[in-house]
Amino acid sequence: MAQLTPSEYGQQAHADFSPVGWHLGHIAFTESLWILEHLAGQNGSPSAYRRLFAADGLPKAERQNLPDLATVLDYLAQVRQRVWEYLETAPLQQERLWWWLLQHESQHAETISWVLAMHRRAQHPVPTSSGQSPVVAAVNGPDMVSIPRTTVQLGYGGVEALDNEGPAATVTVEPFWIDRYPVTCGAYRRFMEAGGYYCPDWWSTEGWAWLQAHPVQQPFYWSGQAAMEQHPVCGVSWYEADAYARWLGNRLPTEAEWEVAARGQHGCLYPWGEDGPDISRCNHHHQMGQTTPVGSYPQGCSAWGCEDMLGNVWEWTATCFAGYAGFMAYPYQGYSQAYFDGRHRVLRGGSWATRRWALRSSFRNWYHPHMRQVFAGFRCAHSAV
Ligand code: AVJ
Ligand code: FE
């Protein structure tokens, strides 16, 4: 935190994202609202902080006029202190709310990582890729895994599950093929070199219109370095992921396909079984501080042989975010339900910056298809016909 520059702390890196300082205040505000006010029945935050840091307070563009870092860190520390005191005698049947709050903070912490990455990218711009073609080992051909018709319970209703993960239900997925690994930078480079960004054939109508309005030629976090060739591509919009998949005659997996690929025929919560994540099985929890070459965690492989399903990069799916049958909002309507609008696409799997308690095969994230600042890549699929 000490290394935050004033602009990293208080300025927007991008119109779609609040400044780091706002996220810090919002983490404290949310903890005080749900634990101190709702659970403990105590006084919450000062009303000035409510206006500043509530999700429905100020529009994003007006969140740059913040109290200084020391003040916000003090606010965080005071809320946390009061929460520790309350925890001594807190009734334990409210466990679900504590799990929700922990994952709420973790998701904002991950967003802070993206915002810092955006600031650093603006400070150290990467030249566009044209003309620089590093000499690297040949990229292997597509390596896909065949998954038979599977009937299995998907979704999750455990106490730590977020509202949108449940209720769990038995689902049948028709046979399909899916990439063993997320698409690498080396593979994606071929798409770029084949003129992928200049050929409407590979793009959806909406994606091509987006590309014309926002001309880009490479992923947001593209470095162009040979050392990154085996890393998953990171920083693509859903439109770019979709175009790449079409270029190969493939498509993005549906979220049910993705989840079957991760959970196997018995529906384990993690690709490797029922034990929670640890650092030998996937790149997560900020332990590596960046992406790792795909296939670096063979111990994390799923029953079908898919690797890097959890951690490394989030993965776009074909599916629009919606509630499962019998969805029940928790802890408030706006948490998930407000985004069941047919405009958001589901991402799965978490990234290297996802905390371990927000990493499981049922976890669903969602963003607009134009968003490319998330630590997100993808893998391709096709139906087995
Ligand atoms: C699920 C990551 C899209 O950060 O906007 C945080 C999570 N909701 N505070 C977001 C969330 C309310 C949400 N995402
Ligand atoms: Fe929030």
The DSSP secondary structure of 89-103, one letter per residue, reads T--GGGHHHHHHHHH
Question: Rounded to the nearest whole angstrom, what is the distance from the C-alpha of residue 200 to the centroid of ligand 1?
Answer: 33
Mean pLDDT of 281-309: 98
339 CA: nearest ligand 1 atom: 3
Give the tokens for residue 33. Answer: 């609202």
Tell me the pLDDT tens digit for each residue of 174-201: 999 999 999 999 999 999 999 999 999 9
Binding site membership of 351 for ligand 1 (Cβ less than 6 Å): no
User: Residue 129: what pLDDT?
Assistant: 62
**Measured in whole angstroms, how far is the alpha carbon of residue 273 from the centre of its chain?**
22
| Residue 366 Cβ contacting ligand 1 at under 6 Å | yes
CA 368 to ligand 1 center in whole angstroms: 12
Report the pLDDT value the prediction gives residue 291, as an integer from 0 to 100: 98
Helix-strand-coil percent breakdown of the chain, rounded to 5? 35, 10, 50
**Where along the chain do the CATH 3.90.1580.10 domains lie?**
144-383
Secondary structure string (H, E, C) spanning 71-91? HHHHHHHHHHHHHHHHHCCCC
Q: Is the CB of 26 under 6 A from ligand 1?
A: no
pLDDT, tens digit, 9 for 90 and up, residues 202-219: 999 999 999 999 999 999
Residue 113 Cβ contacting ligand 1 at under 6 Å: no
% of the chain beyond a pLDDT of 70: 96
Q: Is the pLDDT of residue 136 over 90?
A: no
Closest C-alpha residue for ligand 1 atom 3 = 366
pLDDT of residue 385: 76
Share of the chain above pLDDT 90, in %: 92
CB atoms within 10 A of CB 285: 20
Burial class (CB in 10 A: 0-12, 13-18, 19+), 115: buried
- pLDDT class of 131 with cuts at 50, 70, 90: very low
Instruction: Find out whether the beta carbon of 337 lies less than 6 Å from any atom of ligand 1.
Output: no
Minimal-distance CA residue to ligand 1 atom 1: 365
How far is 322 from 344, CA to CA, in rounded Å? 9
Q: Kindly indicate the confidence band of residue 1, based on its pLDDT and cuts at 50, 70 and 90.
A: low
Q: Closest by alpha carbon to 311, among 230, 255, 234, 219?
A: 234
Question: Has the ipTM of the complex gone over 0.85?
Answer: yes
Average pLDDT over every residue of 3-14: 94
- Does the global pTM surpass 0.90? yes
Q: What CA–CA distance (Å, rounded) separates 207 from 159?
A: 38
Q: Is the pLDDT of residue 166 over 60?
A: yes
Q: How far is the CA of 119 from the centre of ligand 1 (A)?
A: 20
Closest listed ligand to the CA of 337: 1
pLDDT grade for 93, boundaries at 50, 70 and 90: confident
Predicted pLDDT at 2: 53
- The whole-number pLDDT of residue 140 equals 57
Closest CA to 324 of 100, 162, 127: 162
Whole-angstrom CA distances from 36 to 64, 79, 342 are 26, 8, 35
> Atom 11 of ligand 1 has which residue's CA nearest to it?
104
The top-level CATH class assigned to 144-383 is: alpha beta
Residue 297 Cβ inside 6 Å of ligand 1? The answer reads no
Residue-wise pLDDT tens digits, 233-254: 999 999 999 999 999 999 999 9
Contacts of 201 (CB under 8 A, 6+ apart): 246
Cβ 365 under 6 angstroms from ligand 1: yes
With CA atoms as reference, report the closest residue to 86 among 46, 26, 34: 34
> What is the mean pLDDT of the segment spanning 355-375?
98
CA of 286 to the centre of ligand 2 (A): 20
Nearest ligand (C-alpha, residue 114)? 1
Separation of alpha carbons 255 and 188, rounded Å: 22
Chain mean pLDDT for the chain:
95
| Number of the ligand 1 atom closest to the C-alpha atom of 111 | 4
Q: What is the mean pLDDT of residues 271-289?
A: 97
**pLDDT at position 124, please?**
87
Please tell me the distance from the alpha carbon of residue 160 to that of residue 263, in angstroms, as a whole number. 18
- Euclidean distance between CA atoms 183 and 180, whole angstroms: 9
Confidence of residue 133 (pLDDT cuts 50, 70, 90): low
Ligand 1 centroid to Cα of residue 111, in Å, is: 9
Average pLDDT over residues 24-44: 97
Q: What is the pLDDT of residue 92?
A: 80
Mean pLDDT of 376-381: 98
| Nearest ligand to the C-alpha atom of residue 365 | 1
Instruction: Give the strand pairing for 314-320 and 376-377.
Output: parallel
What is the arithmetic mean of pLDDT over 126-146? 65
Nearest residue CA, atom 9 of ligand 1?
104
